Amino acid sequence: MHQNGFTTTILHSDRSQSVEHGAVHKPMHPSSEYVYEDAHELAAVFQGRSGFTYARQGTPTTTALEARITKMEGGTGTVSFATGMAALAAIFTTLLRRGDHLVSSHFIFGNTNSLLGTLADLGVEVTTVDATDAGQVRAALRPNTRLVFTETIANPGTQIADLVGLGEICREHGLVYVVDNTLTSPWLLRPRDVGASLVMNSLSKYIGGHGHALGGAVTDTGLFDWSGYANIAEAYRKGAPAGWGLTQIKKKGLRDMGATLAAEPAHRIAVGAETLALRMDRHCSNALALARFLQGHAGVAKVHYPGLPCHPQHARAAALLRPGRFGGLLGVELAAGIDCFDFLNHLRIVLNATHLGDTRSLALPAAHTIYYEMGPQRRAEMGIADSLIRVSVGIEDETDLLHDFDQALVAAASR
């Protein structure tokens, strides 16, 4: 039977259920509360029947977005949050308890690194290892290990974890395998294919794509057997065990902690998601062209990009990601004598701005901004040089981007 592709499916997913008034876009629902003619109905929803009660726990708008993300990831269900960090915090705090152990890649987003510090303060044992080597993850396991966490492509060093190797270790040991898919998005990689139990996506990045809405999502891939997981509360050990993990994340993480995605950003993200594949292809082709151009440039000492054959995990990236695509993020170390601030200030198209996954190209001095708080020692461990520029490559016309980098490098070199 014919199966529709990624973009067709996402574009038409709203109409898999009847849409009010025949509206082509799923209408937005800003209502805080939901009414029932018969109070028994209200009680039934509180007691587990599907339906809406109070918007902190979800609305038709967030539900429609969640269905879209579930389709994109090939999962069994999704819970959305106000931001990606809220989604990660919900996973860790609802699935781990004091005395449990977590193994994480040490090449991770700075704020996630800080969140792991908070978990450690609360009594969760945290070990970070170089997850490009699955052997290091295996060696770090303890009897109390419950969860393994990694990102797909790390930012800004672009290291690629041994995602398949970690998946095998987690399956062997019955560990929850959490993959942050933000840098790849489900268009380049479905973490379910490498054995992930849960997938986190920051919807603020490529999925929303236009830099005007924040959101996060946790998707269950259906691969983990929650019936054997010790930390599921009695109240959520009801119905099919396949749903227990996400139910606990939704009840304890979303309802109780309250970082709910509002209807307006949920709607914007759902619209953005329709063009994910188109944008992502352009981000990737622009990034590859820019990486090749900069690699040969006199003003550049080193380019970190998985699409370059010299990248340490180039072969792994080629095997894991959609063919010919290596993501939209570059790390660029400038040649000695070129001041990174001077270079950035000469860029005309590329914006000096944090964030990534925007349609516009963005650049920042990584050590002085997003990695400033962690200090020089941890930066050195993570391989973040003082002159490292992080570039989130946008969807501009390729020649304009190459020209902008070239003129800024030349201008900064001649100072």
From the CB of 200, what's the least distance to ligand PLP, in Å?
Answer: 7
Q: Which is nearer to ligand PLP, 61 or 182 (CB)?
A: 182
Question: How many angstroms separate the CA atoms of 137 and 110, rounded?
Answer: 20
Q: Going by C-beta distance under 8 Å and a sequence separation of 6 or more, which residues neighbour residue 196?
A: 163, 167, 177, 178, 179, 221, 223
**Which position among 92, 109, 149, 371 is part of the footprint of ligand PLP (CB under 6 A)?**
109
| Inter-residue contact 356 to 368 (CB < 8 Å) | no
Q: Which is nearer to ligand PLP, 91 or 300 (CB)?
A: 91
Site string for ligand PLP, 309-348 (x = CB under 6 A): ----------------------------------------
From the CB of 180, what's the least distance to ligand PLP, in Å?
Answer: 5
Question: How many angstroms separate the CA atoms of 309 and 294, rounded?
Answer: 14
* Residue 84 is a binding residue for ligand PLP (CB under 6 A): yes
Half-sphere CA count of 335, side-chain side, radius 13 A: 13
* Residue 209 is a binding residue for ligand PLP (CB under 6 A): no
Q: Which is nearer to ligand PLP, 232 or 392 (CB)?
A: 392
Residue 403: CB atoms within 10 Å: 14
* Residue 202 is a binding residue for ligand PLP (CB under 6 A): yes
Q: How many residues bind ligand PLP (CB under 6 A)?
A: 16
| Inter-residue contact 109 to 89 (CB < 8 Å) | no
Site string for ligand PLP, 355-384 (x = CB under 6 A): -x----------------------------
Q: Which is nearer to ligand PLP, 113 or 297 (CB)?
A: 113
Name which of residues 214 to 243 contact ligand PLP (CB under 6 A): 214, 216
* Residue 110 is a binding residue for ligand PLP (CB under 6 A): no
Question: How many angstroms separate the CA atoms of 120 and 172, rounded?
Answer: 26
| Inter-residue contact 331 to 371 (CB < 8 Å) | no
Strands ordered across the beta sheet of 329-334: 300-304, 329-334, 388-392, 362-365, 351-352
Q: Which stretch binds ligand PLP (CB under 6 A): 167-175, 177-185, 247-255, 381-389?
A: 177-185
Q: Which is nearer to ligand PLP, 112 or 361 (CB)?
A: 112
Q: Going by C-beta distance under 8 Å and a sequence separation of 6 or more, which residues neighbour residue 347?
A: 363, 404, 405, 408
**Which position among 61, 63, 204, 387 is part of the footprint of ligand PLP (CB under 6 A)?**
204
Q: Which stretch binds ligand PLP (CB under 6 A): 126-134, 197-205, 305-313, 369-377?
A: 197-205
**Which position among 106, 205, 250, 379 is part of the footprint of ligand PLP (CB under 6 A)?**
205
What count of residues does the chain have? 415
From the CB of 7, what's the least distance to ligand PLP, in Å?
Answer: 23
From the CB of 179, what's the least distance to ligand PLP, in Å?
Answer: 10
- Identify the three-state secondary structure at position 205: helix
Question: How many angstroms separate the CA atoms of 14 and 10, rounded?
Answer: 8
Name which of residues 137 to 176 contact ligand PLP (CB under 6 A): 151, 155
Sign of the C-alpha dihedral computed for residues 107, 108, 110 and 113 taken in this order: negative
From the CB of 4, what's the least distance to ligand PLP, in Å?
Answer: 29
Amino acid at 350: V
| Inter-residue contact 203 to 229 (CB < 8 Å) | no
Comparing every residue's Cβ against ligand PLP, the nearest one is 84
From the CB of 152, what's the least distance to ligand PLP, in Å?
Answer: 8
What are the CA-CA distances from residue 331 to residues 2, 153, 159, 257, 260 (Å)? 41, 12, 11, 35, 33
Amino acid at 96: L
* Residue 182 is a binding residue for ligand PLP (CB under 6 A): yes
Site string for ligand PLP, 42-81 (x = CB under 6 A): ----------------------------------------
Residues that bind ligand PLP (CB under 6 A): 83-85, 109, 112, 151, 155, 180, 182-183, 202, 204-205, 214, 216, 356
